Amino acid sequence: MLEILKYLEYVEDNRQPWKIKHKASDCIAITLFATLANANEWTEIHAFAEMNENFLRKYLELPNGIPSHDTIQRVMSMVKPQFLQNMQLSWNEMLSAGEGERLKKLLNIDGKTIRGNGTKDKKAMHIVTAYGKEDGICFGQKVVHEKENEITAIPELLYCYVSGIFQLVSDTYSHRYMV
């Protein structure tokens, strides 16, 4: 991973030097990390960076803090496609060379209300699911009982069905758990 971060230092930054507050390499790295965590929009990438600022500071300078989503988008629009393609090739080589074994799978957590099973006296059932988007595999499901919170069901789900360390991404919540 450090090789890729070093490669980012060679990005050509065409912005006017006196207007630069955030390094182009930092913006690209933030985008890389955020997209690995399933962030798809510029605002999601920015939110990921703000929530994980302490982690990012271990690898990036971030002299003026986290760049705005507009800055990240502007920087990414200026990066030459060939540079990103070479970065992708480096990433693929890293994964093929065994470094990929050190990377953990992304585990998605999602809660859904099952429609049509509620009655006049009882609310519809709510289920929390742990699944791997890349593999299309459901690792487990847990029913959230009435008057329980979805967040309290997540650790039980993981304890019962999943082992190892996963970075959890939920479409509703942004909590991290270690199993």
> Do the beta carbons of residue 48 and residue 41 sit within 8 Å?
no
Provide the angle, in degrees to the nearest 10, between the axes of the packed helices 24-36 and 42-51. Answer: 90
Give the residues across from 134 on adjacent strands.
none
Eight-state DSSP code of residue 41: S
What spatial distance separates the first Cα and last Cα of the chain, rounded to whole Å? Answer: 24
Banded model confidence at residue 179, pLDDT cuts 50, 70, 90? very low
> Is residue 112 over pLDDT 70?
yes
> Do the beta carbons of residue 85 and residue 144 sit within 8 Å?
no
Question: pTM of the full predicted structure?
Answer: 0.57
CA distances from 113 to 15, 29, 124, 125 (A): 48, 36, 7, 6
Could you count the other beta carbons within 10 Å of the beta carbon of residue 178?
9
> Do the beta carbons of residue 175 and residue 155 sit within 8 Å?
no
For the chain, give every domain's residue range.
2-102, 106-170
pLDDT digits (tens, 9 = 90+) for 38-93: 888 999 999 999 999 999 999 999 999 999 999 999 999 998 888 888 887 787 67
